[in-house]
Structure 1
Amino acid sequence: MKTIFETLEMNEIQRQVQGYCASTLGKKRVDNLVIFDDVEDLDEALEKVNEAMKLISIQGRMPLGGLSDISLLLEKANRDGTLLGEDFLKVAHHLECIVSVKNYILASEVKTHFLQDLCDGLVENQHLLNEIQRCILPDGSVGDHASDHLYSVRKKIHQIQVNIRTKMDSLVKESKDILSIDQMTTKNDRLVLPVKSGYKNQLGGLIHAQSATGQTTYIEPEAVVVMNNQLSEMMMAEKAEVERILYVLSQLVKGNYYHFHFNLEILEELDFVFAKAQYGYQHDCCIPCIEEKGKFISLKEARHPLIDEKKVIANNIILRDHQMLLISGSNTGGKTVTLKTTGLLSLMALCGMPIPCLEATIPLFDQIYVDLGDEQSIEQSLSTFSSHMMKIIEILKVSTNQSLVILDEIGSGTDPQEGESLAEAILGRFLEIGSFVFASTHYGRLKTFAKEHPEILLASVSFDLDAMKPTYRLKLDSVGQSYAIEIAQLLGLDQDIVNQAQMIKREAMSEHEKLMEELEKKQEQLDLREHELTKLLSDNQKLEKQYQHQMHQLNKQKDELLQKAKDEANQLLLDAKENIDLVVETMKNSSLKQHEIIQAKHDLDQMKYLDEQDIIKQDHELTVGDHVKVTKMNREGDIVEVLKNHMVMVSLAGLNVKLHEDEVTFMHPQTKVKKVKKASLKKTTVKKTGTYEINVIGKRYEEAMSLVDKFLDDALVLGYPHVRVVHGMGTGALRNGIRRMLEKNKHVVSYRDGGPNEGGLGATLVYFE
């Protein structure tokens, strides 16, 4: 059997609210929504949402982006376990989230009580955050400078790797006659030489593999074996130091175990509250007023939250001086929507949520009982009528004078006379119990029963006869007609049958009934016009509110910009005063002549032009050998040739670049005259090999990223088709960071690992457009 949450589709509302949660913590809280049974607890929950909605309307959602459930990590640390680098990133995000939340509340223009108390309970830990950021890199690896010892070990590892590569390069040259390929390669993560199998005994060392044909044997030379063993020892030392650092950080987390748990509870509550508030803000909801012993229900301009906002009809659902609302009208779904809206909005309010109304007052119901739609029980072989009856019997047993009972088409599904009788008796019993009842019917006899009992308020769902369609507009204190013949005609029933049915109906009606029907139709048309006018007035009020809000935002921005301009102007004035005082003091302390005073005044006039960029003018006549600086590249080099049309050829680290003389700044003349031979120049030019590379092995992560970023920009300016970045293997942090940078660079077409003679996994080749 469906639960009340499923019947009223509250589970769909929960799913939507979860979409506004920043973490699984908030989502779990939304999953566990229940009806409050204490009015003080419910009022506090609703007031928290109210405060959050006010904050959201002015400064947006609370920044909870870094929030995640770190409870398992805390338990691991508390049991003296060692957290991983990725775990510490989550802890850091948690600490950063706390700072953001506190700043959000601190910057707020809205005075809050409950949310302020929650945020005051959050405990910051800047020391731990700084330690994590110092030791753990953004990719989760431990940085070189996490400790002096780690830095020293990694430096030695780098040096050994350089020595190994240098030695292997030397052996390749020495042993090229016995090699299958004139280059080194890798096997089992070791650098090896591909030796012709017939000469394998001529080169001492460890055999790692053999080619499929057996013609090549891959040997790690003996001299390199020793260095690789040293490398393995240093790798083990590095691993031990990394584990020590992670353990020390884990102990710091353990020391703040209880603070973290309290923080998690508070952040979970904030995520939960702001998710409900964001839902309320997006759906123009209000905070309902809950009365513990309330005797009336008032839902003004209530909308069903699961119906398209462009199609949903807002209704005033009010039961003030009555105990029961009996809705009649056409059989087009309007009655059921009204009942579902009443039930769902009441349930949302009792669960501490804002509801889509202009204004709402709801009693603190002890429970909501619903019998809606076709709930035939196939398992129990029960008919629709039997299924409804069983549910109503159960509701009669458990409902109280503080219960809300919703019954759709009570007494339907059986003989009309018997159904009317049963429905009348059941409604009578609910009147005796004192429950709040919202029911729908199309039985005429129940309408008469309602008129005889002052505790029952009649209502109807109107029907637009001109458009021949339901308006879904609820009219209180009115009796609705079924419009069965009109609806059948709209659905395509043969016109002759429609005419015959109308004739039979007219003949069976008394003059009084005919007159009442005409009056009801006129009343419906008037109500429709009144609703259109009311809607126009409401739309204008909403537009006025939006205008006021936008004006508030614009005035706020204007004030901020004006204040910023004033501050800048004041600072400029202070600077100008200081300069003026300096000039005046100079004039007082010296016997200036008239032309010198004029020059001083001119200097004052020139102050307003200080922001203009200086234009580089070349006073020196550039010659071969002059040392110059290339401004836009921030590099220095020597002029190797003076060309026509004010162009010069500058050598930058062996690369000749053709530049205009205005693009360089003269530094000093050549210190030693040296004739440049064309042959030697040709050897150093990059055009011969087409390669350009940078080596960042041993650099800190941030320094390496900055160097590579500038290197790529320079390579693009100089027109290289491809470059090589040497980063080494190490922990893989540099390699991974560089790969992420390349992914984001729109000028990079592709990249790959270096080949056997290109650095292998320790290098990356980059190709530009």
Structure 2
Amino acid sequence: MNVEQQIEFDKIKELWMNLAATQWAKEQIKEKAFCLDEGSLRKQLKDTTNSRDLMEKLGAPPLQNLTEIKEILTIAETGDCLTPYQLERVEKVLVMINRLKKYLQGGKGYDNPLAYYEENLNVPEELQEEISRQIRNGSVDDYASKELSQLRNQIVKCEEQMKQKADQIMRANKESMADHYATYRNGRICIPVKKEYKHKIPGSVIDKSSTGNTLFIEPAGVAKYYDELQALKIGEENEIYRILYTLTAFVSSSAPMLHANIAVIEKLDFVFSKGKLSIDLGGAEPAINTRRKILLKDARHPLMDPNINIPLKFETGESVRGIIITGPNTGGKTVAIKTVMLNCMMAQCGLHVTCKDADICMNNSYLCDIGDNQNIAENLSTFSAHMKNVLEVLSEADKDSLVIMDELGSGTDPAEGMGIAIAILEELRKSGCLFLVTTHYPQVKEYADKAPDIMNARMTFDKETLRPTYQMVLGEAGESCAFYIADKLGMPGEMLKTAIRAAYGEDAVKDYPFRKESAVIEKRKSRKISKEKKEKANLNLSTKYKLGDSVMIYPDKKIGIVCKPINEKGILRVQLPGKKIWINHKRVKLHVAATELYPEDYDFSILFETVENRKIKHKMERKYTEEIIRYETV
């Protein structure tokens, strides 16, 4: 049962993947499954909201595919020499990291939590400068080193001397020349000599014309320059490799920092891809509950044109566990149940939903039986596949499941199909799951009026234009074997009795030869929903961490010391080796309390203030001074 494909969530994933820049983020999206942890899900939804807010204020972040840079770092770390092209790719990524840091710094002005990931991005500035200075337009620049510059100047001078010498010889022997211009053959400069004057020009025959009447001779006076030129080019090549190997070693030494940057960028790419999808679909952040309640206001199918899609208002839960949708077979019923399940699954995957407002419960499973493209030629094999799927749904459904079924009981004789539909609905009701079912049987509508926890619904259509409308004709095939097939496939006897009684009455139940009268639906072990532990409302954040507390910073698990407690925005200042950072308290965990590390009257200025400031403060305590204590500003 491929639920994602049946409700078209796989198409949502395709749209989502196209909005990610890195291959890692694309793979995460491809494998993304709905979340069962309430706390984690709320964080995922908040990340989506924060990323959308940031992009609406600052535009799309500067992200790019990192597959190539990973391969380049592997080459550098294994000791192979990087090419100028590969070094330019490294520089391009370093420029992107710098731009991303500036982008996130801009987000700090809006107190966006994602902006503080900027603290985790570090650029090896010297490496970027060296590559920019020495590599240009896909090759090593002339001025990458003094020696290379001198060698290339000498090469140009030598080539010019060779040409001048060849021209001089041609002018002195005009009658012997077959043409007025020197030419290059096999990398050597040659003059075109008539065959009969071959012995008049001292030198080596390098080539000849197709007729053999013209010989291309490298004059002896030019050859000495050629040997000098080859020596210069060997020197040039050696210098180029020296520069490339030096830069490669620089890249290799910076690889750990670059790998850490890549990990942060990939995580941000995944989060921002959710925000981009929300913007493209016009989504909104849903509320999440574990009370088995679903409320959708002005819900849209995310794959339909919003200009022609009529918004859906839907509510279930608490006193109503199941909804049976009836009405003309216009296609509207199927779209409605898909819209509900698709929005619920999107929400539980940390995505925004295509609703004006939504309050969606967490589900431990999404189960469906949707028979699209139905026609009057439905035969025994179609019904068998339908029943197998229904029985699989019933075996998995429990109180935390969301189930949708389209055209329940179709594909067979209307009377028997109606009975089986009621039996399935009765089993769904007993399981306690939330379910949405579409049907065309009037008897099922009557059943819903009497059954507890079930409500009828209808889909309307334009009676004047009859658009859209699709009519399904049933019962034109031969005799149906619905009860027999259901019995053979394992439907319990009690369910079959309910079906036969609904279709033909009590007398028919007594005469039916049950194969598995004592069989029951075997329930599979269901997964548990982990509810979020609520923080106490009166918790005072300002007392959560104290000056001098040793804390661990996530996700990097770095150890730092609190140098400024949490402010009213939930941000605290932490001293790390070589720098101080501002960070949200949710990314910090107490490692060792200050009371365990320092004496009660310990002077923390020793740790956090500069020597200059401490000297000035000491002077102020003793006498008047015009010196000023300077503190860094945020």
TM-score by length of 1: 0.58
SS at match of 2:282: coil
CA contact (8 A) 1:375 1:388 kept: no
CA distance in 1, matches of 2:127, 2:381: 67
CA distance in 2, matches of 1:117, 1:103: 11
SS at match of 2:143: helix
1:403 corresponds to which of 379, 401, 407: 401
Report the alpha carbon displacement of residue 134 of structure 1 after superposing the two structures with TM.
Answer: 0.7
Q: In 2 relative to 1, CA 442–90 (structure 1 residues): closer, same or farther, beyond 3 Å?
A: same
CA contact (8 A) 2:193 2:214 kept: yes
SS at match of 2:416: helix
Q: In 2 relative to 1, CA 7–202 (structure 1 residues): closer, same or farther, beyond 3 Å?
A: farther
Partner of 2:54: 55
Partner of 1:4: 3
Q: Greater relative contact order: 1 or 2 (C-alpha under 8 angstroms, separation 6 or more)?
A: 2
- What residue identity is the alignment partner of 1:304? H
CA distance in 2, matches of 1:14, 1:30: 7
Partner of 1:35: 34
Partner of 2:427: 429
Partner of 1:308: 305
Task: Check if 1:111 corresponds to 2:82.
Answer: no
Alignment of 1:126-145 (within 5 A): 126-137=125-136, 139-145=137-143
Report the alpha carbon displacement of residue 40 of structure 1 after superposing the two structures with TM.
Answer: 2.4
Report the alpha carbon displacement of residue 162 of structure 1 after superposing the two structures with TM.
Answer: 1.6
Partner of 2:159: 161
2:171 corresponds to which of 150, 155, 173: 173
SS at match of 2:460: strand
Report the alpha carbon displacement of residue 272 of structure 1 after superposing the two structures with TM.
Answer: 1.9
CA distance in 2, matches of 1:342, 1:27: 26
CA distance in 1, matches of 2:111, 2:219: 75
SS at match of 1:331: coil
Report the alpha carbon displacement of residue 342 of structure 1 after superposing the two structures with TM.
Answer: 1.6
Report the alpha carbon displacement of residue 22 of structure 1 after superposing the two structures with TM.
Answer: 3.0
1:460 corresponds to which of 455, 458, 461: 458
CA distance in 2, matches of 1:118, 1:294: 34
CA distance in 1, matches of 2:157, 2:129: 30
CA distance in 2, matches of 1:316, 1:155: 78
- What residue identity is the alignment partner of 1:39? E
Report the alpha carbon displacement of residue 399 of structure 1 after superposing the two structures with TM.
Answer: 2.5
Partner of 1:19: 18
Report the alpha carbon displacement of residue 318 of structure 1 after superposing the two structures with TM.
Answer: 1.7
CA distance in 2, matches of 1:450, 1:294: 23
Deviations along 1:78-116, one digit per CA (max 9) or x if unpaired, are: 111211111111111111111111111212342212x13
CA distance in 1, matches of 2:68, 2:42: 28
SS at match of 2:335: helix
Q: Any unmatched runs of 5+ in structure 2?
A: 474-634
- What residue identity is the alignment partner of 2:44? A
Partner of 1:391: 389
CA distance in 2, matches of 1:371, 1:248: 63
Q: In 2 relative to 1, CA 164–344 (structure 1 residues): closer, same or farther, beyond 3 Å?
A: same
- What residue identity is the alignment partner of 1:297? I
Alignment of 1:176-191 (within 5 A): 176-191=174-189
SS at match of 1:437: strand
Report the alpha carbon displacement of residue 133 of structure 1 after superposing the two structures with TM.
Answer: 0.5
Higher helix share: 1
Partner of 1:85: 84
Deviations along 1:369-399, one digit per CA (max 9) or x if unpaired, are: 12112489xxxx9622211111111111222
- What residue identity is the alignment partner of 2:242? R
2:200 corresponds to which of 199, 202, 206: 202
CA contact (8 A) 2:330 2:471 kept: no
Partner of 2:509: none
CA contact (8 A) 2:48 2:272 kept: yes
CA distance in 2, matches of 1:382, 1:235: 81
Q: In 2 relative to 1, CA 382–81 (structure 1 residues): closer, same or farther, beyond 3 Å?
A: farther
CA contact (8 A) 1:66 1:96 kept: no
SS at match of 1:145: coil
Q: Greater CA deviation, 187-196 or 28-37?
A: 28-37
CA distance in 1, matches of 2:61, 2:191: 60
SS at match of 1:319: strand
- What residue identity is the alignment partner of 1:335? K
CA distance in 2, matches of 1:239, 1:418: 86
Report the alpha carbon displacement of residue 6 of structure 1 after superposing the two structures with TM.
Answer: 2.0
Q: In 2 relative to 1, CA 212–422 (structure 1 residues): closer, same or farther, beyond 3 Å?
A: same
Report the alpha carbon displacement of residue 118 of structure 1 after superposing the two structures with TM.
Answer: 2.6
1:317 corresponds to which of 314, 317, 321: 314
Deviations along 1:233-270, one digit per CA (max 9) or x if unpaired, are: 21121111111111111111111222111111111122
Q: In 2 relative to 1, CA 201–461 (structure 1 residues): closer, same or farther, beyond 3 Å?
A: same
Task: Check if 1:214 corresponds to 2:212.
Answer: yes
Q: Any unmatched runs of 5+ in structure 1?
A: 472-481, 486-769
2:329 corresponds to which of 324, 328, 331: 331
Q: In 2 relative to 1, CA 250–465 (structure 1 residues): closer, same or farther, beyond 3 Å?
A: same
Report the alpha carbon displacement of residue 161 of structure 1 after superposing the two structures with TM.
Answer: 1.5
- What residue identity is the alignment partner of 1:73? I
CA distance in 2, matches of 1:66, 1:387: 43
Deviations along 1:184-221, one digit per CA (max 9) or x if unpaired, are: 11222322111112222322223222111111111222
Task: Check if 1:469 corresponds to 2:467.
Answer: yes
- What residue identity is the alignment partner of 2:233? M
CA contact (8 A) 2:286 2:347 kept: yes
Report the alpha carbon displacement of residue 336 of structure 1 after superposing the two structures with TM.
Answer: 0.5
Partner of 2:269: 271
CA distance in 1, matches of 2:40, 2:385: 37
Partner of 2:94: 95
CA distance in 2, matches of 1:204, 1:389: 97
Task: Check if 1:243 corresponds to 2:241.
Answer: yes
CA contact (8 A) 2:101 2:118 kept: yes
CA contact (8 A) 1:25 1:69 kept: no
Alignment of 1:256-655 (within 5 A): 256-291=254-289, 293-321=290-318, 322-374=320-372, 383-469=381-467
CA distance in 2, matches of 1:340, 1:370: 9
Report the alpha carbon displacement of residue 62 of structure 1 after superposing the two structures with TM.
Answer: 1.1
TM-score by length of 2: 0.70
CA contact (8 A) 1:66 1:94 kept: no
- What residue identity is the alignment partner of 2:305? D
Q: Greater CA deviation, 70-79 or 41-50?
A: 41-50
CA contact (8 A) 1:205 1:219 kept: yes
CA distance in 2, matches of 1:42, 1:156: 67
1:254 corresponds to which of 246, 252, 261: 252
Partner of 2:605: none
User: How much identity, in percent, do the aligned residues show?
Assistant: 32
- What residue identity is the alignment partner of 1:196? K
Deviations along 1:496-537, one digit per CA (max 9) or x if unpaired, are: xxxxxxxxxxxxxxxxxxxxxxxxxxxxxxxxxxxxxxxxxx
CA distance in 1, matches of 2:323, 2:422: 14
Q: In 2 relative to 1, CA 9–219 (structure 1 residues): closer, same or farther, beyond 3 Å?
A: farther
Report the alpha carbon displacement of residue 338 of structure 1 after superposing the two structures with TM.
Answer: 0.7
CA distance in 2, matches of 1:447, 1:281: 40
CA contact (8 A) 2:192 2:214 kept: yes
1:223 corresponds to which of 212, 215, 221: 221
CA distance in 1, matches of 2:347, 2:204: 77
CA distance in 1, matches of 2:64, 2:76: 24
Q: In 2 relative to 1, CA 341–164 (structure 1 residues): closer, same or farther, beyond 3 Å?
A: same
- What residue identity is the alignment partner of 1:111? D
CA distance in 2, matches of 1:12, 1:394: 24
Partner of 1:713: none
CA contact (8 A) 1:24 1:69 kept: no
Report the alpha carbon displacement of residue 67 of structure 1 after superposing the two structures with TM.
Answer: 5.5
CA distance in 2, matches of 1:68, 1:407: 42
RMSD, aligned CA: 2.2
CA distance in 2, matches of 1:27, 1:175: 71
CA contact (8 A) 2:288 2:359 kept: yes
Partner of 1:637: none
CA contact (8 A) 1:67 1:97 kept: no
